[in-house]
Structure 1
């Protein structure tokens, strides 16, 4: 298996860097957002992926993906206001490390970029490689528009 790197486009979030970091570094915030309808939207856009049983705490989340098993994601490092590092575990056919990088542009704007390192077999890469690239950009756009508070 080889590690493949996917980097999102840089997005501008219309919030202070600390607010963005504090929100994204707590999976309980994402649980509230995902359970308010985002999971259903994902299922409609990608019918072959059905996500159920989403649960989270501050540092981790887990959910079932039909046909693939239970996915677990854990925040393994927080560098205050700059970087959040996330790693996967569980029953997925791939493992990944994911970084959310934040850079202030003004007092009320933050640049955000996502980097995904995925360990994929050649067959999995051929099947989902382009979808992962699209997915990283789509996730960056989604995170940009979260209801930061």
Structure 2
């Protein structure tokens, strides 16, 4: 297996860096958003990947992926207002580490960039490598448009 690195485009969020960090650093906030219709949209766009039974607490989220089983994603490090580091566990056929990086632009704007290090065997890389590239950019776009509170 080899570590593959995927980096999103930088996106601009029209909110203060601390507000963005506090929202993203708590997976309970993401649960509310995902369960309000995002999972259905993902299933429509990628019908071979059906995500169900999404649950979360502040530090982790768990969900079932049809054909793969239970997956878990856990926050392993928070550097206040700058970086959130997440790692996978559970039934995924790959392991990954994921960083959300935040940089203030002004008092009311924040730049966000996502970095994914995925440990993929050659077969999985051939099947999902391009989709991970697209997916990391789509996720950055989605995070840039969340209803930060």
- Which interval holds the TM-score relative to the shorter structure? over 0.9
- 5+ residue gaps, structure 2, are none
Report the CA distance between 1:44 and its aligned residue.
Answer: 0.3
**Does residue 14 of the first structure (1) align with residue 10 of the second (2)?**
no
**Structure 2 equivalent of residue 87 of structure 1:** 87
Cα distance in 2 for partners of 1:129, 1:69 equals: 21
| Moved >3 Å (runs of 4+) | none
Report the CA distance between 1:50 and its aligned residue.
Answer: 0.3
Q: Spell out the pairing of 1:53-68 with structure 2 (5 A cutoff).
A: 53-68=53-68
Cα distance in 1 for partners of 2:40, 2:98 equals: 23
**Structure 2 equivalent of residue 24 of structure 1:** 24
**Does residue 118 of the first structure (1) align with residue 118 of the second (2)?**
yes
Deviations 1:75-129 (A, max 9, x none): 0000000000000000110000000000000000000000000000000000100
Cα distance in 1 for partners of 2:27, 2:45 equals: 23
TM-score, structure 2 as length reference: 1.00
Cα distance in 2 for partners of 1:131, 1:40 equals: 18
Cα distance in 2 for partners of 1:12, 1:142 equals: 11
**Structure 1 equivalent of residue 129 of structure 2:** 129
SS at match of 1:133: helix
Report the CA distance between 1:15 and its aligned residue.
Answer: 0.2
**Structure 2 equivalent of residue 103 of structure 1:** 103
- 5+ residue gaps, structure 1, are none
Report the RMSD for the aligned CA atoms in angstroms.
Answer: 0.3
**Structure 1 equivalent of residue 37 of structure 2:** 37
**Structure 1 equivalent of residue 77 of structure 2:** 77
SS at match of 1:40: helix
Cα distance in 2 for partners of 1:88, 1:134 equals: 19
Cα distance in 1 for partners of 2:20, 2:71 equals: 25
